[in-house]
Amino acid sequence: MAKVFIDGSSGTTGLRIRERLSERKDIELISVPYEERHDPLVRKYAMAKADIAFLCLPDDSAKESAALAEDLDTVIIDTSTAHRVSEGWVYGLAELEGQKEKIAKAKRIANPGCHATGFIALVEPLVKAGIIKADQFLQCTSLTGYSGGGKKMIAQYEDENRDPLLDAPRLYGLTQTHKHLKEMKALCSLEHFPAFSPVVADFYSGMETIIPLFKEEINGTAEDIIQVYQKLYQGNIIRYADISKDGMISAAYMKGRDDMLVHVEGNEDRIVLCAVFDNLGKGASGAAIQNMNIVLGIDETEGLVIGE
């Protein structure tokens, strides 16, 4: 039985991981007294007892926690932004070519950001295939449910006296400094940051990441792109599929699930890449649990909600 400690189990992601792992008979959860949860010595002792520790903390706190574990053999899975492009940390998107093997051997794993998961799943294989050029200027729009903003945003949206402006989708990340941009650029080996427009809307969870392309900008066709996706994504967790319904694609299509569907639409002149998944699933706790499963050498889908 694997021993697991969750540092920061009261936040959205940490709470969800704890709830899901508490149902598993192959996992023993290590807990610390609530009043001692911020004590560095208590946290380090808990991490030392664990085979795997999840860091579900703000960036600065995650860095402090990782430093506490520096001399420990415990596998650390950090769900924050703190270590996603840091040396010595393996990026936890297992579906990228060769990445699962790296995760299986890693002691330090950085769980991907939700928006970044969709962007990288769509772009990285096409850069590697030479269809998208490394120096290309890309645009991306990504729509998320309000749970992506954590407890504070959830409370805002679920307040019966909330601001009427929350009734409609809202664009954010207006200064082009969104915290996922670094990993989007680095993992896709891009020379330029994409122009990224994240949007939050009045639904709890779900995500739709969209990237438009012009035929003049790429080396290939929509069919070439589809073939790349179909060849790479042959597992259960990311798959290529036609997800349009009545000429539309809903961001809630994969709500409550831990897998992702990628799709290509458009025509001969303009192509649209689309990834649909749950920001709380493949975009957060689902990916973290998948990475834990890989480290433990068991079926990576154990405890995950995967569709047909």
Which is catalytic among the residues 114, 140, 188, 274?
114
DSSP string, 237-284: SEEE----BTTB--TTTTTT-S-EEEEEEE-SSEEEEEEEE-TTIIII
305, part of any domain:
no
Mean pLDDT of 65-83: 97
pLDDT at 101 > cutoff 90: yes
Task: Please identify which residue in the block is written with the tokens 């945003």.
Answer: 153
Kindly state whether residues 36 and 176 are assigned to the same domain: no
pLDDT score at 10: 82
* Domain membership flag for residue 172: yes
pLDDT of residue 106: 98
Percent residues over pLDDT 70 in the chain: 100
pLDDT band at 235 (very low <50, low <70, confident <90, very high): confident
> Which pTM value belongs to this model?
0.97
Q: What is the pLDDT of residue 11?
A: 86
pLDDT at 245: 85
236 lies in which domain range?
A: 114-279
C-beta of residue 154 within 8 angstroms of C-beta of residue 12: yes
C-alpha neighbours within 13 Å on the C-beta side of residue 278: 22
Is the predicted pLDDT of residue 68 greater than 80, yes or no? Answer: yes
Q: What pLDDT shows up at residue 153?
A: 97
Res. 85 pLDDT band, cuts 50 70 90:
very high
Portion of the chain with pLDDT greater than 90, in percent: 94
Judge if 144 and 271 occupy the same domain. yes
Same-domain check for residues 290 and 242: no
Give domain status of residue 306, yes or no. no
Type of residue numbered 45: Y
- Band the pLDDT of 165: cuts 50, 70, 90: very high
Whether residue 267 has pLDDT greater than 80: yes
119 and 211 both lie in a single domain: yes
CA distance 156 to 278: 20
Rounded to whole angstroms, how far apart are CA atoms 203 and 181? 24
pLDDT bin (cut points 50, 70, 90) of residue 171 is very high
| Same domain flag for 272 and 134 | yes
Where does the pLDDT of residue 157 fall: very low under 50, low under 70, confident under 90, or very high at 90 and above? very high
Asked, for residue 303, whether it belongs to a domain, the answer is: no
Instruction: Tell me: pLDDT of 308 over 80.
Output: no
188 catalytic? Reply is: no
Tokens for 280, please give them. 């709380």
Residue 81, in any domain of the structure? yes
Residue 304 located in a structural domain: no
Whether residues 164 and 269 fall in one domain: yes
End-to-end CA distance of the chain: 29
- Identity at 245, one-letter amino acid code: K
22-48: burial string, b at 16+ Cβ within 10 Å, e else: eeeeebeebebeeeeeeeeeebbbbbb
pLDDT beyond 80 at 179: yes
| Tally of domains within the chain | 2
CATH number at residue 32: 3.40.50.720
Q: Which two tokens stand for residue 10?
A: 């009261």
Instruction: Report the pLDDT averaged over residues 156-180.
Output: 97
Asked if residue 162 has pLDDT above 80, the reply is: yes
Backbone phi, psi, residue 290, to 5°:
-60, -45
In the predicted structure, residue 114 carries a pLDDT above the cut 80: yes
Q: Are residues 184 and 151 in the same domain?
A: yes
Are 55 and 184 members of one domain? no
Q: Does 124 share its domain with 29?
A: no
The tens digit of pLDDT for each residue in 115-124 reads 999 999 999 9
pLDDT of residue 294: 99
The reply to whether 108 and 197 lie within a common domain is no
Structural domain includes residue 139: yes
Whether 228 contacts 214, CB under 8 Å = no
Q: What is the CATH number of the domain that holds 123?
A: 3.30.360.10
Of 70, 94, 92, 73, give the one whose Cα is nearest residue 81.
92
Residues 174 and 274 in one domain: yes
* 194 and 266 co-located in one domain: yes
Is residue 170, in this structure, part of any structural domain at all?
A: yes
Residue among 114, 179, 182 nearest 145 (CA): 114
